[in-house]
Amino acid sequence: MSLWEYANPKRFMQISAAVLPWVAGFGGVCLAVGLIWGFFGTPEDYRQGATVKIMYLHVPAALLAINGWLMMLAASLIWLIRRHHVSALAARAAAPVGLTMTVIALVTGAIWGQPMWGTWWVWDPRLTSFLILGLFYLGYIALWEAIDDADTAADLTSVLCLVGSVFAILSRYAVLFWNQGLHQGASLSLDKEENVADVFYFPLLLCIAGFVLIFLALVLYRTRTEIRLRRLQALMARDRLL
């Protein structure tokens, strides 16, 4: 069976209906256990105090804000190259979820930064590119809403997604490109010296798994909605012609 069979809307609806409850349920359990473990079961950090508990929201949300855009990039490329409608609709469905993750990461980052850095915001390379990524999310959603013809909207938003990918990548690697700014390096690393301590690491992993699964569940659900809406619009357009 070819991977492209899943691009058939009918097949996508069948498979997503079967998978969605499991992904959503497992995601909810992972997130609940991870957050409860992180909030109630981990100690204060010796430097950051109790603010370290903000990490369980900030890190997964930031990770998904960036990778959500990269998922939209992959879907947009599939649309541009192979013209599969489901991929364009999946990219559209993911945008509000990615925007919410970006807002969560920005807000929790500001709340965390104030006591640690002495300021809510600084024009640091990573923070600035992250803010621009958030604006790209807004622009992407607005562009979809602004164009009536669905295929033209999918084409233009895909191009916008390609351009915005620069900022998605920058916000991940800005710390490495520019050796300046207040934001620390990655919390998770294969280097044991750089990685967070085990006591924080395992609940953080659970929170990340929970956020990823909830992101997936929301994108699947919202893509199903977009497919239904597209079908309704197609039926109404056909009836107007008859």
Partner 1 sequence: MPELGKYAGEVLSAYGISLALLAVLVAVSLARGRRVRAKLRAYEDRKGAR
**Residue 49 sits in the site that holds partner 1 (CB under 8 A):** yes
Q: Residue count at the site for partner 1 (CB under 8 A)?
A: 36
Q: Which residues pair with 49 in a beta bridge?
A: 45
Query: Own/partner pairs for 29-33, CB < 8 Å, 24+ apart?
Result: 29/210, 30/206, 30/207, 30/209, 30/210, 30/213, 31/206, 31/207, 31/210, 31/211, 31/213, 31/214, 32/210, 33/206, 33/210
By the rule CB under 8 A, 119 interacts with partner 1: no
* Interaction pattern, residues 190-229, with partner 1; x per rule: CB under 8 A: ------------------------x---x--xx-xx--xx
Of 199, 204, 140, 136, which Cα lies nearest the Cα of 167?
Answer: 136
Other beta carbons within 10 Å of 151: 12
Residue 16 vs 125, nearer CB to partner 1: 16
φ/ψ bin of 83: left (φ > 0), alpha (ψ from -120 to 50), beta (otherwise): left
For partner 1, the binding residue among 7, 57, 78, 209 (CB under 8 A) is 57
Nearer to partner 1, 192 or 238 (CB): 238
Q: Does 126 bind partner 1 (CB under 8 A)?
A: no
List residues near partner 1 by CB under 8 A: 35, 39-40, 44, 49-51, 53-54, 57-58, 61, 96-97, 100, 103-104, 107-108, 111-112, 114-115, 214, 218, 221-222, 224-225, 228-229, 231-232, 235-236, 239
